[in-house]
Structure 1
Amino acid sequence: MQRPEAWPRPHPGEGAAAAQAGGPAPPARTGEPAGLRLQEPSLYTIKAVFILDNDGHRLLAKYYDETFPSLKEQMAFEKNVFNKTSRTDSEIAFFGGMTIIYKSSIDLFLYVVGSSHENELMLMSVLTCLFESLSHVLRKNVEKRWLLENMDGAFLVLDEIVDGGVILESDPQQVIQKVNFRADDSSLTEQSVAQVLQSAKEQIKWSLLK
């Protein structure tokens, strides 16, 4: 994977050196978190997953922590990320103290966001799982039109991969099986409700005929 020159990974200790020198910390730009903080290793690996169209408009997004607590901050972040990645051939970027893994498909851009210290291969495994699972759900048509028509299935896929920022599954076959099971279970529930309603109608009809 090639790292874009415009997005160098921040060097550890840069903020501390500036503080010791008495200089002010550089101001955060719009769409970037206020500052970088050292974090302990955690199961909460994923900060966000989102899918944009080829104009940078949000189609699907889930944020799993308070790095961008408001919708306005999220949209500004997504715009900045899209502007930096939409014209590059790389798969990885470092921006605002975060590691961003991304992939394009026809008229979609898929992004997985983690902190700067997260394992890039782990984030890539989540993105690969998401793409391959969506490819199955969308019958290999990973594009805007089919995504919009199958948004419920897309959210089911994402929920099976990541929950609250914790990676649950990175095997697309397992994700597909679980999504199919949940879809079948939902269908059975709807069918059961329909059967109950039909039975009630029959009972009412026979009671009126008596």
Structure 2
Amino acid sequence: MNLSLYAVNAFLILDSTGKRIFAKYYSPPHSKEGEGSIFQSVKEEKTFEKGLFEKTWKTQNDILSYDGKLVVMLTVMDVAFYIVGGMEENEIMLYECLRSIRDALELIYKYIPDKRTILDNYDQLVIVVDETIDDGIILESEPSIIASRVTKGPVSEAQAIVSDFKEMGFMSGLQKARDKFAETILKGSF
């Protein structure tokens, strides 16, 4: 058995007509040019996507083998989410990764993602996928953690200090608070 962290070959979102909304293909970063990549050109990718869509759109299959690859699919509203992996990959792990991306998008968008919402918030989709999958490695599978990484706003200095205190032990946090308080008094801005 060839065990590897590089479980995902592609992540795709296609609309109800089979057109590409989002596609990201992965190959291990240490592989040589053309080696490890599942397709050599965009034309080959689109041909694969078209055939995959034709085989899966009207079916109820969530997990299938297509063109020598393991494909996991979720249909949501008017879009289909796909994760493509090698035949030796764990389909449950791939399904959980796909589900976590969909659920993170639901948390961010506040409702079920459809084509219009995805296109209007494309930047958030890209960040969700990048926070979940990196070079084919599944990094995170908890939707709330993924969503929180995407939606974090700018942090004020006071929030950063409170966050620092939360991560420290009680005594070291107390000492840092004393130091900050003394520094504020000495500056005369209290």
TM-score normalised by length of structure 2: 0.74
Residue 81 of structure 1 aligns to which amino acid in structure 2? L
1:115 paired residue number: 86
> CA–CA distance in 2 between the matches of 1:120 and 1:105?
19
Is residue 2:96 matched to residue 1:125?
yes
Q: Find out whether 1:103 has 2:74 as its counterpart.
A: yes
Residue 55 of structure 1 aligns with which residue?
17
Q: 1:74 pairs with 31, 45, 49, which one?
A: 45
**Structure 1 residue 141 displacement after superposition:** 3.2
Partner of 1:64: 26
Alpha-carbon distance in structure 2 between the residues aligned to 1:126 and 1:53: 20
Deviation, 1:40, is: 2.0
Count of matched residue pairs = 147
Q: CA RMSD in A?
A: 1.4
Q: What per-residue deviation string (whole Å, max 9, x for no partner) do you get for residues 144-183 of structure 1? A: 01110000000000000000000000010110111122xx
Following the alignment from structure 1 to structure 2, what is the Cα–Cα distance between the partners of residues 50 and 106?
15
Tell me if the contact between 2:107 and 2:144 (Cα under 8 Å) persists in the aligned partners.
no
Aligned counterparts of 2:112 and 2:7: Cα–Cα separation in 1: 29
- Tell me, in whole angstroms, the C-alpha distance in 1 between the residues paired with 2:50 and 2:117: 23
Q: Which amino acid aligns with 1:97?
A: G
- Distance in 1, Cα, partners of 2:108 & 2:41: 30
Query: Contact 2:76–2:112 (CA<8 Å) still a contact in 1?
Result: no
User: 8 Å contact 1:137–1:154 — kept in the other structure?
Assistant: no
Is 2:116 the partner of 1:154?
no
Is it true that 1:163 corresponds to 2:125 in the alignment?
no
